[in-house]
Amino acid sequence: MNRDHEALLALFDREMREHARPDGPGVRVERTGDVVRQVGTADDWNAVVWSDPDLDPARADAVIAAQVAHYAALGHGEFEWKLYAHDRPADLAHRLLAAGFEAEEPETLLVAPVADLSTAVELPDGVRLRTVSDAQDVELMARAHERAFGSDWSRLRHQVLARLAEDPDGFVGVLAMVGDEPVSAARMELYPGTGFAGLWGGGTVEAWRGKGVYRALVAFRARIAAERGYRYLQVDASDMSSPILRRLGFVALSTTTPYVYRSH
């Protein structure tokens, strides 16, 4: 990793993790000596988002156990430790597994300067983009997501509805429509006080993949980020979206893996 990338990763760690802001209404960020965590209701994203780079093996197991106890005391049956490849100690992943966490699919942390990205939206014939404005649009987002990924969207539905109702300036939802049917949906989280906005979603139903819909959704959101003064776009990218994003100008800074604890 070159120096520019190292500096950008350090900026990301500082602004988006160590000094994390709540990612929606009704949630809070708590800071202890060793971790920063987000806490909300059971339907919110509950997670450890940062751990002290000086966390040493002698303390790590106790810190992990303290987080398990904290979320259990709140009655949460599930929470995530969002681990990055450069987090310390080097064996933190193994310690999380030993403590009962389960690793989910790793993703690549990709970042691009907004000024370097194309904002030209080029769509295949028959597809149009529009922003999400109400609960009916959220249902269309859910339909697109579930058709594209085959996974339940109920928790995200709760979070997006809350954002629309209580924090609309911090969120942009986008639908790709063919007639009355959603063929893709994506969202952008805006983080005031930082230089970053995050791209999420972008799953496209199978029949419309490979036609440029995902690239158009990125360009559409990049244009909005530029208009609102954000300097960087960040993506936790799957293996499917990572090659597209790299071609668009995003660079890999690290990998991130959700380690999920579920009480049994």
pLDDT at 23: 86
Residue 137 has pLDDT above 80, yes or no: yes
> Under 8 Å CB-to-CB from 160, ≥6 apart: which residues?
132, 138, 141, 171, 173, 187
Q: Which of 94-98, 99-103, 111-115, 154-158 has the lowest mean pLDDT?
A: 154-158
Residue 33 has pLDDT above 90, yes or no: no
Q: Let me know: does 71 contact 44? Beta carbons within 8 Å.
A: no
Residue 101 has pLDDT above 90, yes or no: yes
> Under 8 Å CB-to-CB from 10, ≥6 apart: which residues?
none
pTM over 0.75: yes
pLDDT at 31: 97
pLDDT at 87: 97
Q: Let me know: does 35 contact 48? Beta carbons within 8 Å.
A: yes
In angstroms, the CA 209 to CA 215 distance is: 11
* Nearest CA among 201, 197, 202, 195 for reference residue 233: 197
Residue 1 has pLDDT above 80, yes or no: no
Per the listing, tokens 């100008």 go with 249
* Nearest CA among 174, 241, 188 for reference residue 210: 241
At 252, list the tokens.
Answer: 């890999």
Beta bridge partners of 195: none
SS3 of 1-14: the string is CCHHHHHHHHHHHH
pLDDT at 196: 97
With H, G, I as helix, E, B as strand and everything else as coil, classify residue 40. Answer: coil
In angstroms, the CA 206 to CA 148 distance is: 7
Q: What is the pLDDT of residues 108-136, one digit of tens each?
A: 999 999 999 999 999 999 999 999 999 99
Q: What is the pLDDT of residues 181-203, one digit of tens each?
A: 999 999 999 998 899 999 999 98
pLDDT at 173: 96
Q: Which of 63-77, 155-169, 186-200, 207-221 has the lowest mean pLDDT?
A: 155-169
pLDDT at 182: 97
β-bridge pairing 196-204 and 232-237:
parallel
* Nearest CA among 101, 82, 78 for reference residue 36: 82
What's the mean pLDDT in 169-174?
A: 94
Q: How far is CA 139 from CA 18, 135, 164, 180, 243, in A?
A: 34, 6, 13, 12, 29
What's the mean pLDDT in 133-156?
A: 92
